[in-house]
Amino acid sequence: MNAEKDIHDYLLGTLPADRLEEIELRILTDDDFHQEIEIAEEELLDDYVQGKLAAQERPFFEKHFLASPLRQQRLKFALALQKKLNSAANTSPSHIRSRPDSFYPYALAASLVLAAILGATSYSFLGKIQEERANIASLKKQLEEARQQASLIVPNSVLQKVLSPNGSRGGPQSQFVVPKGALAVQFNLTVPSDIRGKIRIDLLNDAGQAICSQEGNRVEPAQGKNVVTTTIESKYLNPGNYFLRVASPPQSSARWEYPFQVVPH
């Protein structure tokens, strides 16, 4: 990446769209880079005023670079200052010797006026930049906290998950991450209201192969629903697709399936 060329193209509005967002983000977050932009702006102004800017770049300068009222004002002062410099250069040596300080007051006055105008005009603009930087910093902090929370190691913890029956393993699945350090996942399965007594629960992979089983689990009422709880050790829950199969007491052949997916960290 040629940073100098990117800045030049950015100021003239010729930077490719895929690079534009990165440059604008660096302006808001990188003070040194922001200073490079300001230096490049001054160099472009000087080249334009002195006629050094390439002919093919002048339309982009006038249309894009000068779209900013602040830059237009800076150009006016630069042109006025250059005109005064040209006038002084064309003055005869004898005249310059007789009035050695004739140009200095004008240049000093112009510089002071320009500094005052730029300071007043730039104050609100700089305030907005600082506000944007503060917002970006806040978002970065929130993102980092979210990442830390997602990867938080909680020793000896048990993850809680609530699942409802789904007749087809091809339907919607509950997705979740098993955190590092979690010993197991406790599944709370809602079952039909007519189920009573002890039941059997099997953990199967997506191919229907049994991984582990539990018998004797009891249905308990919870928040107006019938719920059966089973705890599966995390060592059985590597990333992949699974389903829990609940079988009712021996006298009934009814079964319910609870598909879910363990996703990688």
pLDDT tens sequence across 98-108: 444 554 555 55
Which residues, other chains included, contact 69 with Cβ-Cβ below 8 Å and sequence gap of 6+? 121
Tell me the two tokens of residue 40.
Answer: 């490049």
* In the chain, ranges of CATH 2.60.40.4070 domains: 157-262
* Structural element, H or E, at residue 245: strand 240-247
Average pLDDT of the segment spanning 130-158: 64
Tell me the two tokens of residue 18.
Answer: 């895929």
Q: What is the pLDDT of residue 205?
A: 92
12 or 100: which leads in pLDDT: 12
Average pLDDT of the segment spanning 164-192: 77
Least confident of 72-81, 83-92, 205-214, 240-249: 83-92
Whether pLDDT at 96 is above 50: no
Distance CA(231)–CA(30), nearest Å, equals 50
Distance CA(211)–CA(203), nearest Å, equals 6
Instruction: Indicate the CATH number for domain 157-262.
Output: 2.60.40.4070
Cβ atoms within 10 Å of 220's Cβ, excluding its own = 11
Measure CA 172 to chain center: 29
Q: What is the pTM of this model?
A: 0.41
Q: Give the three-state DSSP class for 50.
A: coil
Contact criterion met (CB below 8 Å) for 188 and 162: yes
Average pLDDT of the segment spanning 86-99: 57
Q: What is the mean pLDDT of the chain?
A: 77
